[in-house]
C-alpha cells in the first residue's frame, strides 16, 4: 500500500513526508483494517511533524481524520461488519480502568494513545483502528464532508461544551480554521450570535458567509463583550485579549493541543468578576457520538479543499500559511469523496 511517512521531525517547508510502498497491516485482536477513502489534515498533524508535541515513535504515518471501508475484522471483533463505512479519530486507546475512564473522562486517561502520533494513521491507502474507537458515520455526509468532523468537529464540539455557551447568547471565536468553521454552524443552529476574530481575509469571508454577526481582525474591535469564547489559534497572546472582551461570569475555552506562551494577566482586567478559563484536552468517544448526531441533524456542511495523497506536504504547507478555507482533505480513493 502507498503511505505518506514521517521519518524525522522537521519543518513542513522541507516536505518531510515521503510517499512509500508499505506492506498491508494485519489487524490484531480487537482491530479492524480499513481501506481509506480520504483523510482530513489538521494543525495537530503539523505539531507532530514539526516536533511541537513531545516526540512519539518514528517512523509514523500521520493523519487522524480518516474515512474508510472495513475490509478485515481482527479476532474478537463483532460490532462492525465488512463493507461498513466508519471514521477514525484522534483518540484510539484508553485503559478503561483509571478514575478518569470510570468517571466518563477518558480523554484524561494517563494511558491514552492517539492516531497518527502513537500509531499509524490515515495518510495511507489502508489503516488499522481498534473497533471500539471507530465511529459509524451518518449517511448524511459524503466522505470528504465526514472527514473534518472526526477531529475539527469533535474538538470544536467539546470546546463549545467547555465554553458553557447557552442557546441564544454571544459567542466569540478566535481563529477561524477547520474547527471554528464547524463550530459556527452548531452555534448558529442553537441561536447564538457569533463574533469572529481572525487575520486572514479568506477566513473572514467564510465566517461572514456562515452567518457571523461580526467579523474583524482584532479582539479590541469587538463591538460588544461576549458571554463565552473559544481560542482556536495556537497563539498565547490572544488569551488576555479574549479575556478582556469577555462578559462578567463568562467562560473562555482554549481548544489547542499546543499554544505559544501566554503573556502576564492582570487580575482585575482579565480574571476578576468570576471569569473562567478552561482548557480542552482531546475528547471522549461520547463527544464524537454527540457531534456526529448533531451534525447530521443540522446538517453541518464542512467546506473542503481536496488534495491527492502524494501532495500531503503541499496541503500542510498551505494549512500552515492559512491558505485553506475550511478544511484540507487528502483523497485516497475517489469513490464518493
What CATH number is associated with residue 103?
3.90.180.10
Helices (H) and strands (E) in the chain, counts: 9, 17
Are 19 and 110 found together in one domain? yes
In a domain, 258, yes or no: yes
Average pLDDT on 296-316 reads 97
Going by pLDDT thresholds of 50, 70 and 90, the confidence category of residue 333 is confident
In a domain, 174, yes or no: yes
Bridge partner residues of 70 (DSSP): 34
In a domain, 226, yes or no: yes
pLDDT of 335 above 80? no
The residue to which cell 479543499 is assigned: 305
Q: What is the pLDDT of residue 310?
A: 98
Q: What are the angstrom distances between the C-alpha of 87 and each of 17, 70, 143, 297?
A: 23, 10, 9, 18
In a domain, 337, yes or no: no
Please report, for the domain that includes residue 243, its CATH number: 3.40.50.720
Q: What are the angstrom distances between the C-alpha of 138 and each of 179, 193, 290, 296?
A: 19, 28, 12, 7
pTM of the model: 0.93
Going by pLDDT thresholds of 50, 70 and 90, the confidence category of residue 230 is very high
Q: What is the pLDDT of residue 334?
A: 64
Q: Specify whether the CB–CB gap between 304 and 326 falls below 8 A.
A: yes
Are 176 and 140 found together in one domain? no
3-state secondary structure of 20: strand
How many C-beta atoms surround the C-beta of residue 185 within 10 A? 22
Average pLDDT, the chain: 96
Residue ranges in the chain assigned as alpha helix (H):
43-50, 99-102, 143-146, 152-162, 178-189, 201-209, 238-244, 285-297, 312-320
Are 16 and 144 found together in one domain? yes
| Per-residue pLDDT tens digits for 151-187 | 999 999 999 999 999 999 999 999 999 999 999 999 9
Are 143 and 159 found together in one domain? no
Are 226 and 129 found together in one domain? no
Query: 3-state SS of the chain: helix, strand, coil percent to 5?
Result: 30, 25, 45
Residue that terminates a domain, selected from 260, 279, 298: 279
Are 221 and 74 found together in one domain? no
3-state secondary structure of 35: strand
Euclidean distance between CA atoms 12 and 316, whole angstroms:
7
Measured in whole angstroms, the distance separating CA 21 from the mean position of its chain's CA atoms is: 28
Are 275 and 209 found together in one domain? yes
Average pLDDT on 107-125 reads 98
In a domain, 29, yes or no: yes
Euclidean distance between CA atoms 238 and 80, whole angstroms:
43
Domains of the chain: total: 2
Q: How far apart are the first and last CA of the chain?
A: 19
In a domain, 336, yes or no: no
Are 81 and 189 found together in one domain? no
How large a percentage of the chain has pLDDT more than 70? 99
pLDDT of 1 above 70? yes
Instruction: Please provide residue 10's backbone torsions phi and psi, each rounded to the nearest 5 degrees.
Output: -170, 160
Q: What is the pLDDT of residue 163?
A: 98
| Per-residue pLDDT tens digits for 78-107 | 999 999 999 999 999 999 999 999 999 999
Are 179 and 326 found together in one domain? no
pLDDT of 337 above 60? no
Residue that terminates a domain, selected from 238, 257, 279: 279
Domain that holds residue 11: 2-150+283-331
Are 93 and 199 found together in one domain? no
Q: What is the pLDDT of residue 125?
A: 98
Average pLDDT on 224-236 reads 97
Euclidean distance between CA atoms 284 and 91, whole angstroms:
8
Residues whose CB falls within 8 Å of the CB of residue 61, separated by 6 or more in sequence, listed in order: 3, 4, 5, 6, 116, 120, 121, 122, 123, 124, 127
In a domain, 54, yes or no: yes
Q: What are the angstrom distances between the C-alpha of 249 and each of 64, 126, 144, 164, 238?
A: 35, 48, 39, 11, 19
Are 301 and 257 found together in one domain? no
In a domain, 50, yes or no: yes
Are 179 and 307 found together in one domain? no
Euclidean distance between CA atoms 319 and 322, whole angstroms:
5
Amino acid at each position: 500500500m502507498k503511505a505518506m511517512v514521517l521519518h524525522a521531525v522537521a519543518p513542513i517547508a522541507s516536505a518531510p513526508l515521503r510517499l512509500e510502498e508499505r506492506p498491508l497491516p494485519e489487524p490484531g485482536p480487537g482491530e479492524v483494517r480499513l481501506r481509506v477513502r480520504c483523510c482530513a489534515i489538521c494543525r495537530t498533524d503539523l505539531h507532530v511533524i514539526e516536533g511541537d508535541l513531545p516526540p512519539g515513535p518514528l517512523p509514523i504515518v500521520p493523519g487522524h481524520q480518516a474515512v474508510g471501508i472495513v475490509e478485515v475484522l481482527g479476532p474478537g471483533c463483532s460490532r462492525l461488519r465488512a463493507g461498513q463505512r466508519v471514521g477514525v479519530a484522534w483518540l484510539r486507546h484508553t485503559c478503561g480502568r483509571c478514575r478518569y475512564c470510570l468517571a466518563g473522562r477518558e480523554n484524561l486517561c494517563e494511558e491514552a494513545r492517539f492516531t497518527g502520533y502513537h500509531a499509524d494513521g490515515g495518510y495511507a491507502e489502508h489503516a488499522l483502528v481498534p473497533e471500539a474507537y471507530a465511529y459509524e458515520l451518518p449517511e448524511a455526509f459524503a466522505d470528504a464532508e465526514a472527514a473534518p468532523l472526526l477531529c475539527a468537529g469533535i474538538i470544536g464540539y467539546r470546546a463549545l461544551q467547555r465554553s458553557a455557551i447557552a442557546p441564544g447568547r454571544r459567542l466569540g471565536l478566535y481563529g477561524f480554521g477547520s474547527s471554528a468553521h464547524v463550530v459556527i454552524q452548531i452555534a448558529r443552529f442553537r441561536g447564538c450570535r457569533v463574533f469572529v476574530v481572525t487575520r486572514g481575509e479568506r477566513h473572514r469571508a467564510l465566517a461572514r458567509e456562515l452567518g457571523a454577526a461580526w467579523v474583524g481582525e482584532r479582539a479590541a474591535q469587538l463591538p460588544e463583550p461576549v458571554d463565552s469564547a473559544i481560542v482556536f489559534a495556537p497563539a498565547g497572546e490572544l488569551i488576555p485579549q479574549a479575556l478582556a472582551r469577555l462578559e462578567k461570569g463568562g467562560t473562555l475555552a482554549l481548544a489547542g493541543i499546543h499554544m505559544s506562551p501566554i503573556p502576564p494577566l492582570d487580575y482585575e482586567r482579565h480574571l476578576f468578576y468570576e471569569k473562567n478559563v478552561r482548557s480542552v484536552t482531546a475528547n471522549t468517544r461520547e463527544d464524537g457520538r454527540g457531534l456526529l448526531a448533531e451534525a447530521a441533524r443540522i446538517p453541518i456542511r464542512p467546506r473542503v479543499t481536496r488534495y491527492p495523497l502524494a501532495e500531503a506536504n503541499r496541503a500542510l504547507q498551505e494549512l500552515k500559511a492559512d491558505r485553506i478555507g475550511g478544511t484540507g482533505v487528502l483523497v485516497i480513493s475517489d469513490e464518493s469523496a
